[in-house]
Structure 1
């Protein structure tokens, strides 16, 4: 259905203690979904727990190499865009400021369908902070991404209706 994720060698699923995938059919165009994923001002409307995103290094839009700060999973996080293929795929890697050895890589694959878009997201996580956060509920990150996809689908449909 789609190309494989371009994992950094040290963040592959086989080397990561936390790895999960989520997918969803969205009744909105790939262009609308892409516009939401790349418009960091829109993230608080669909990304669970995100209150703010700040682009760094004088960037004003997402592109390969764009660095950013945000808050995810209750943590202040610094990330950078590692993959950027318009309307098709985007991925970012980074980690919490409080635990530099804890890292994550989050990829999105966007595929057009007859009724809109198929969204696939996959993430790997490593390091003590993520492992500690997952101990009380091992599927917490997967469930959060299910909510993320549900919210993103809703916002995309609303944006197309507006």
Structure 2
């Protein structure tokens, strides 16, 4: 159905103790989904726990190589865009500032369907901080990403309004 994630060799699922996928069909165009994913100012409206995103290096929007800082999973993190194919795929890699040996790779695949868009998100995580969080709540990352997809779908179908919880 879609092209495989282009995992960095050290972040493949087989080398990562944490790996999960989430998917959802949304009755909006891929362009609508893409516009929300690349608009970091919109992230707080659908991305659980995100309060801010700061683009670094003079970048004004996400594109291949864009570095950014944000807060995810209760952690201040740094990341950079590793894959960027408009309307089709985007991925970033990074990790928490508090645990430089912990890292993650988060990819999105956007596929048009007869009724809108199929969203697929997949992530691998490595390092002590992520492993400790997973020990406390084994499905925390999967549940957070499922909420992310559901909230993204709500914002997309409501024309940019933040979902109420």
Q: Report the TM-score, using the length of structure 1 for normalisation.
A: 0.98
Residue of structure 2 equivalent to 1:11? 11
Q: Which runs of 4+ in 1 moved over 6 A?
A: none
- 8 Å Cα contact 1:28-1:160 kept in structure 2: no
Deviation at 1:92, TM superposition (A): 0.2
- Identify unmatched segments of 5+ residues in structure 2: none
Residues 34 and 99 (structure 1 numbering): CA distance in 2 closer, same or farther, change over 3 Å?
A: same
Q: Matches of 1:101 and 1:87 in 2, distance apart?
A: 32
Residue of structure 2 equivalent to 1:28? 28
SS in structure 2 at match of 1:71: strand
Aligned 1:148-159 pairs, distance under 5 A: 148-159=148-159
- 8 Å Cα contact 1:32-1:160 kept in structure 2: no
Deviation at 1:137, TM superposition (A): 1.0
Q: Once the two structures are superposed, what CA deviation does each residue of 1:39-67 show, in whole Å capped at 9, x if it has no partner?
A: 00000000000000000000001000000
Deviation at 1:160, TM superposition (A): 7.5
Q: Once the two structures are superposed, what CA deviation does each residue of 1:3-62 show, in whole Å capped at 9, x if it has no partner?
A: 000000000000000000000000111000000000000000000000000000000010
- Identify unmatched segments of 5+ residues in structure 1: none
Q: Report the TM-score, using the length of structure 2 for normalisation.
A: 0.96
**Is residue 68 of structure 1 aligned with residue 36 of structure 2?**
no
Deviation at 1:136, TM superposition (A): 1.4
Residue of structure 2 equivalent to 1:88? 88
Q: Matches of 1:64 and 1:122 in 2, distance apart?
A: 18
